[in-house]
Chains A and B, each alone.
Chain A
Amino acid sequence: MKTNFKQIKEKIIETILMLSSAATSITVVLIVFFLFVEGAGVFNKKPIDDGFLLAVSAENTVHKLQPSQIKDIYDQKITNWKELGGKDQAIVLFRAGDITDYYTEEELGENFEFFPDKINELVAKTPGIIAFFSDKYKAKDFTGRELDIDKIKVSEFLTGEEWFPTAQPIAQMGVKPLIYGTLWVSFGAILLALPIGLAAAIYLSEIAKKRTRSILKPIIELLAGIPSVVYGFFGLVIIVPLIQSTFNLPVGETGLAGSVVLAIMALPTIITISEDAMRNTPRAMKEASLALGASQWQTIYKVVMPYSASGITAGAILGIGRAIGETMAVLMVTGNAAVIPTTLLEPVRTIPATIAAELGEAPNGGLHYEALFALGCILFIITFGINMLVEVVTNRKSHKKH
């Protein structure tokens, strides 16, 4: 009886333990699920604000437009309906605010009570018009035709060159500038951090005395413990002004500032991982090289570095991964301009910084909110891919050893 009870107890405990160990897997699955469900919403909505519409004259033969076409119309890159497969007719742009160009305030009424009628009239009599206005100004007997707008396509989302989700009449959801911004800043950071980190790793593993190493290592690990918001703050008050004055820029909040801050933050990762890899080089290999009259430095770059190449690569890739996902520090120092960068000396905006900066202002469940979750998906996919890559690189190494 007693042993039976004990067995049951053991079984229950093992089940609890197993469930706990499933927590991380469940979380990853949930993250994927929530991110993708919310993010997918952006491709199921029309990229126009709720309660607004675009209308054309009833005679207009164009029925459906793509978001990018509407943008081009309002940017006046497309000026004639025939470019959109319609009649040869100049496009007349109209937003609700433009109404006073056509009617006097008296005509519109004291409380704009004639506003709907006048818009109706205007649309009816201007064949080339495209009008953007709120639902509540749509007259009951509106004679114009509401334009059908295509949903955002995934390809448009990924390749669109403008990120302006609150733009009117049509939200601009091109993530290209954000992806570019993220990659520029991250690769800039690695370009800075890799040589410095490697140098320090070589020093720690091959040159420094045991005692020196035992002092320096914890100090460098401490760098990893400092919160990113503190790095951001440090960047803001020191690095940003420094960059501004050094390069004589109008603003110091630039991609370069982000790269510098991220480089500092990526250093501990790169140093720790590459140092571990170098220290794994068999002693016999190093002695063989030295016994042949190679100098210590020759031994390092001809034997130690090739031997630890996969570890160093893993460190660098992991460093890039960290940099790509880093939010606060970047948000605070890069200036957050959503344009495709041409140099590191201008403000850029990364994906994580965009989410952090905009989610607070995006209404729950709205298009903008969903777009930010879609950004989260992109970020997740990139970092997931990077983790997998690290896995492959390190596995290849252990394979080679056998």
Chain B
Amino acid sequence: MLKIESKNVNFNYGDFQALHDISISMKENTVTALIGPSGCGKSTYLRLLNRMNDLIDNTHMNGTILIDGQDIYDKNTNVDSLRKNVGMVFQKPNPFPKTIFENVAYGLRVNGVTDKKEIEERVITSIEQVALWDEVKDKLKKSAFELSGGQQQRLCIARALAIQPSILLMDEPTSALDPISTSKVEELIYELKNKYTIVIVTHNMQQAGRVSDNTAFFYMGKLIEYDKTKTIFTKPTIKQTEDYITGRFG
């Protein structure tokens, strides 16, 4: 079943056109990796999926993006509900200056969950889901800043999972982490894909190869090639893709 469908998406920062005519579809419960050199538009595209680019002044988007068949850029779309359904994990871990517990509970509270017991249960489940429970169970009341970088990033993933999204966007989620933390997050992605549709932007070719089902290669604001990860990495049809993957540029 198609989860995300983009049709002819163009995007401008002022006069600069950052995305040209992107059309791409993603199936439910798959992991799609977006790769390409810096400034190729992959992050911009990712941030269109939860309308994060709305926050930037003087930008313009046209084209259609459907999620579950609904046009998310439709006038009647409620952006808050969209973002509740489309979770996001950022490049650098960005926990709030609150306790570990409150970080995960935040999304529930802003989305109208008031029942104390329910909040507690869902916070615990989410932390368990990211395999962080054993490490933090004794310090839920401590500041999230006391955790290591890798733990913080997993906490941020737990925070995103707590509000039960169906899509998870990850913007280079391991670029600020050490190798051990990185492999933990990758394992996590692998497990999460049963339940969520995941779109991940990454600079790391090996990572894309390890975690994703499909891979899209962006270059200079254009979608160059989009196929099964295996195909892209073994026999890409376009030369640019091959050059990038084999490390000839980028």
Residues of chain A with a CB closer than 8 A to B160's CB: 291-292
Chain A, residues 277-312, CB within 8 Å of chain B (1/0): the string is 000001011111111111100100011001100000
Q: List 5 A-B contacts (CB under 8 A).
A: A209-B57, A288-B90, A291-B90, A294-B110, A400-B97
A285 touches B94 (CB 8 A): yes
Give Cα distance in the complex from A210 to B58, angstroms.
10
A293 touches B88 (CB 8 A): no
Selected contact of B83 from candidates A210, A285, A292, CB within 8 Å: A292
A293 touches B81 (CB 8 A): yes
A293 touches B83 (CB 8 A): yes
Give Cα distance in the complex from A284 to B110, angstroms.
18
Closest to B159 in A: A292
B94 touches A292 (CB 8 A): no
Closest to A294 in B: B110
Selected contact of B110 from candidates A286, A292, A307, A400, CB within 8 Å: A292
Chain B, residues 75-111, CB within 8 Å of chain A (1/0): the string is 0000011111101101010111100000000110111
Residues of chain A with a CB closer than 8 A to B90's CB: 284, 287-288, 291
Residues of chain A with a CB closer than 8 A to B208's CB: none
B106 touches A292 (CB 8 A): yes
A293 touches B96 (CB 8 A): no
Contact A290-B106, Cβ < 8 Å, known A284-B92, A303-B96: no
CB distance from A370 to the nearest CB of B (A): 51
Chain A, residues 145-177, CB within 8 Å of chain B (1/0): the string is 000000000000000000000000000000000
Contact A291-B88, Cβ < 8 Å, known A284-B94, A285-B94, A307-B97: yes
Residues of chain A with a CB closer than 8 A to B211's CB: none
**B65 interfacial by beta-carbon distance below 8 Å:** no
The A interface is mostly helix, strand or loop, or mixed, namely helix
Residues of chain A with a CB closer than 8 A to B156's CB: 288
Give Cα distance in the complex from A288 to B103, angstroms.
10
Contact A298-B97, Cβ < 8 Å, known A291-B52, A292-B84, A293-B163: no
CB distance from B30 to the nearest CB of A (A): 21
Closest to B110 in A: A294
Closest to A291 in B: B88
CB distance from B182 to the nearest CB of A (A): 19
Give Cα distance in the complex from A286 to B106, angstroms.
13
Give Cα distance in the complex from A209 to B107, angstroms.
27
A291 touches B87 (CB 8 A): yes
Residues of chain B with a CB closer than 8 A to A298's CB: 110
**B55 interfacial by beta-carbon distance below 8 Å:** yes
CB distance from A284 to the nearest CB of B (A): 4
Give Cα distance in the complex from A302 to B82, angstroms.
20
Residues of chain A with a CB closer than 8 A to B96's CB: 285, 288-289, 303
B110 touches A293 (CB 8 A): yes
CB within 8 Å of A: which B37-63 residues: 50, 52, 55, 57
Residues of chain B with a CB closer than 8 A to A282's CB: 94
Residues of chain A with a CB closer than 8 A to B107's CB: 292-294
* B82, B87, B92, B94: residue with the most chain A Cβ atoms closer than 10 Å: B94
Contact A294-B94, Cβ < 8 Å, known A287-B52, A289-B110: no
Residues of chain B with a CB closer than 8 A to A306's CB: 97
Residues of chain B with a CB closer than 8 A to A400's CB: 97
* B50, B80, B81, B82: residue with the most chain A Cβ atoms closer than 10 Å: B80
Residues of chain B with a CB closer than 8 A to A307's CB: 97
Residues of chain B with a CB closer than 8 A to A293's CB: 80-85, 107, 110-111, 163
Residues of chain A with a CB closer than 8 A to B52's CB: 287, 290-291
Residues of chain A with a CB closer than 8 A to B82's CB: 293
Residues of chain A with a CB closer than 8 A to B80's CB: 293-295
Residues of chain B with a CB closer than 8 A to A292's CB: 83-84, 87, 106-107, 110-111, 159-160, 163
Contact A302-B106, Cβ < 8 Å, known A292-B83, A294-B80: yes
Cβ-closest 8 pairs across A and B: A293-B84, A292-B107, A291-B88, A284-B94, A294-B110, A293-B83, A298-B110, A288-B94
CB distance from B157 to the nearest CB of A (A): 12
Closest to B106 in A: A292
Residues of chain A with a CB closer than 8 A to B110's CB: 289, 292-295, 298, 302
Residues of chain B with a CB closer than 8 A to A210's CB: 57
Give Cα distance in the complex from A298 to B110, angstroms.
7
B55 touches A289 (CB 8 A): no
Give Cα distance in the complex from A219 to B96, angstroms.
34
B83 touches A291 (CB 8 A): yes
